[in-house]
Amino acid sequence: MTADTASTPIDYDALVAAQATTLLAAAEAYLRPEDVLLVRQAFAFSRDAHEGQVRKSGEPYITHPIAVAQILTGWRLDAQGLCAALLHDTMEDTGVAKSTLHERFGLTVADLVDGLSKLERLEYQTQEAAQAENFRKMVLAMAKDIRVIIVKLSDRLHNMRTLDSMREDKRRRIAQETLDIYAPVANRIGLNKVFRELQDLSFKHLYPHRYQVLSKAIRAARGNRRELVSKILEAIAGRLETADIAADIKGREKNLFSIYHKMQEKHLAFSDVLDIYGFRVIVDDVRSCYIALGELHGLYKPIPGKFKDYIAIPKSNGYQSLHSTLFGPYGTPIEVQIRSRDMHKIAESGVASHWMYKTGDDSINQAQLRTHEWLQDLLAIQAESGDAIEFLEHIKIDLFPDEVYVFTPKGRILVLPHGASPVDFAYAVHTDVGHRCIAAKVNHELVPLRTRLKNGDQVEIITTSQSKPNPSWLSFVVSGRARSHIRNYLKGLDREDAEQLGERLLKQSLHALAARGFTPDNVLWEAYLREFAEKGHKPADILADIGTGKQLPLVAASRLLELAGEALGEEVRSGPVMIRGNEGGAVQLAACCNPIPGDRIMGLINKGQGLVIHQQDCTHVLRQDPNDLLEAEWDVRQAQQMFGVPIRVSVRDERGALAAVTAAITEAHANIESVDMQDAHRGEGSVQIGFRLQVENTQHLMNVLTQVRAQPAVVRAVRGA
């Protein structure tokens, strides 16, 4: 740039000094003098440790820890939390030892900083594995001290606010991680403002053009609707004043991401999203909440089905409020939230209310208790997860904001993830109830275990002492708790199956080697086992590892050949694996193509899953490296059993059609696992029905389809989901 347009150089020393002064002034407003001194010392230590380091924007690195600590003063976090914020990158980025922090600032601060520090990425092959391990480390730390996640969210919030200086690919990766993990975590512990801002900032960096267009549209709508909003505020205030209800009333605008998400989910144009404005009514106590609700329902008509009572049934993060959507002036829908002042504290600050409002308030204590229970669940899931990636996947499921509120027969309320089944409910009650679940009643009627629960359902679990978890449950349970308990149980239960399968696979590979003139003897096998025995493995461990896919049988067979002093020379292909279908968790039938006896099949060994059987023409198989596939055949000598398979039936939209189809299926001696009515084509005079059946083989399935197609109301019946 020319001398005329050159900007004045920034005095970074003055900038850092000003930011530090602002931070310390904020800390002095609520901390004791000796605590402020500790924060001052942490600032000086961090400034010296980061000396010479700069951010991508060119600012001294110390400006970032100061900004993170400044955010935390808004929640009046204690001195140890502020020190951890100022020091959070010293171990990771400057090589400061934990022992040094322990000596200077105490063990608690050192533990907090350690919990916030990433693990060395050199240990991991992929970015995903590194992310998962770092998240697991942070979860273990925050289960001991909730301040870890509060500081981490403040750190992520400031990083997202200053993400523009990063490369585009890195911006997108960080934004996606924030949207997938950190925003939901903020929501889960009740930090609502942080949750919304992280969503909007992620949206901005993932879809910059859409963000700009939507921002412009909202600014225009804001001007157009200003008069309407003022009119509604005046009407609400007048109505509550007449009823002698003291209230603070505020108009609020929905955040950009929630508007965008609604447009995407419901396929709406922006002009069709009418409820971008909401109104919040804050009153003195619970009684006033319900009185105010009645008054507002008298002022504007409520929209049926759009009322939620989160006071009687709080959200899992402790949030309480009454939500109602009303027909406003000119038919405009308006959302109203009504809550007490204590509820508002929790809604805005969640678990951070512990530091902001040290009043001993019951609602604040409840928020703390709910967060503690959630963290204990995370610890249980972590203990049962095979690896960090599996653990992270479980957590992501439980972080989804949609929740279902269901009742036990005694009236206890359980909060489950959206899409939860009676099996998820059973494990939420108790692990033993889940393990022994055999059937379920929803609203007093027997239903399939894969049924999706809805708000308000009353669920009763039927158990037997002989029942045990079924591997097929993993295809429909959605809660991390249920998935981890089922997998953990099956790992022990299927040990014998895995060993037997591993022995069969190894023998087949050895048989292929024998065809080339090599016959392994006990001496070679014992030598091979000694290699593993030195590492603490037993012979059964090797076979189980082969059966679960942790080790390929051909590798074990090749090592035996090496011990004989020969070379394999070329790839060895073993004979087909014989599949019975009753091997439990050691052999799984792929849910993508649902193979049944009579189908041509291939085997794919997946790490931690064992052998997964697909149809030969399954698209998943066609994408694999041929060297990763095993030939497989059905073992027809085994006793007949039933296999799950989906079919789609199109019927004319007339009375009795469903009954006729189900009768035909029953007559063909097939069991119906579930029925899914799809009315997408109802306007064309037909209805799509999805069935999941239990059949013996492809011939049995063809008999079923023939019987179904013979019904007069049936237009079409085919295999497939």
| Residues belonging to the active site | 92-93
106: burial class by Cβ within 10 Å (0-12, 13-18, 19+)? middle
* 582/580 Cα distance (integer angstroms): 6
Please name the residues in contact with 34: beta carbons below 8 A apart, sequence gap of 6 or more.
none
Task: Please give the DSSP secondary-structure letter assigned to residue 254.
Answer: P
CA–CA distance, 364 with 348 (Å, rounded to integer): 12
β partners of residue 458 = 407
Structure tokens at 648: 């789609």
Q: Say if strands 277-283 and 333-340 run parallel, antiparallel, or are unpaired.
A: parallel
How far apart CA 122 and CA 135 sit, in angstroms, is 16
CA distances to 55, 106, 408 from 59, rounded to whole Å, are 5, 30, 56
C-alpha span between 174 and 483 (Å, rounded): 28
Q: Which residues pair with 699 in a beta bridge?
A: none
Interior angle at CA 657, CA 653 and CA 658, nearest 5:
110
The single-letter code of the amino acid at 634 is: W
Rg (CA), the chain: 31
First to last CA, the chain: 63
Long-range contacts of 549-556 (CB under 8 A, 24+ apart): 549/605, 549/606, 549/607, 549/608, 549/609, 549/610, 549/611, 550/607, 550/608, 552/605, 553/502, 553/505, 553/506, 553/508, 553/509, 554/509, 556/506, 556/509, 556/528
> Residue 186: CB partners within 8 Å, gap ≥ 6?
153, 192, 194, 195, 198
In terms of phi and psi (left: phi > 0; alpha: psi -120 to 50; beta: otherwise), the region of 263 is: alpha
CB atoms within 10 A of CB 8: 5
Task: Give the residue from 470, 506, 435, 700 showing the smallest Cα distance to 589.
Answer: 470
Vertex 320: Cα angle to 314 and 325 (nearest 5): 105
Torsion of CA 599, 602, 605, 611, to 10 degrees: 30
Give the helix ranges, DSSP H, for 286-358. 286-299, 341-349, 353-356
CA torsion 704-706-708-710 (nearest 10°) is: -150
Cα–Cα nearest to 134, from 179, 177, 170:
177
Decide if 280 contacts 250 (C-beta within 8 A): yes
